[in-house]
Amino acid sequence: MKLKNVKELLFNKSMIEEAQDWANSLGSIKNSITKGKGNYVGRLGELALAKHIGAGDAQDQSGYDLLLDGRKIEVKTKRRAVPPRENYIVNIAKTSTHQRPDVYAFLSAQFESQKAGQYKNLQKLWLCGYKSAEDFFKQATFYAKGDIDPGWKPTPKREHYRFSADCYVMEVRDLDDAVRV
Each residue's pLDDT tens digit, 37-48: 568 899 999 999
7: Cβ contacts below 8 Å, ≥ 6 apart: 52, 126, 127
Q: How confident is the model at residue 154 (pLDDT cuts 50, 70, 90)?
A: confident
For residue 140, the 8-state DSSP code is P
Question: Does residue 1 lie in a domain region?
Answer: no
Is residue 62 within 8 Å of residue 71, measured between CB atoms?
A: no
CB 169 within 8 A of CB 89: yes
- Encode 123-158: b = buried (16+ Cβ within 10 Å), e = exposed: eebbbbbbbbbebbeeebeebeeeeeeeeeeeeeee
Do the domain assignments include residue 78? yes
Tell me, yes or no, whether 116 lies in a domain.
yes
Is 179 part of a structural domain of the chain?
no
**Is 34 among the domain residues?**
yes
Domain count, the chain: 1
Domain membership of residue 113 as a residue range = 7-174
For 44-99, write each residue's pLDDT tens digit. Answer: 999 999 999 998 877 767 789 999 999 999 999 999 999 999 989 999 999 999 99
Q: Measured between alpha carbons, how far is 75 from 169 in angstroms, rounded to an integer?
A: 15
Residue 181 lies in a domain: no
Burial class (CB in 10 A: 0-12, 13-18, 19+), 6: buried
Residue 2 resides in a domain: no
Q: At what angle do helices 39-53 and 13-26 cross, to 10 degrees?
A: 140
Q: Residue 156: what pLDDT?
A: 77
Residues 99-125: pLDDT tens digits? 999 999 999 999 998 887 778 889 999
Whether 54 is in a domain gets the answer yes
Backbone φ, ψ for residue 162 (5° rounding): -105, 135
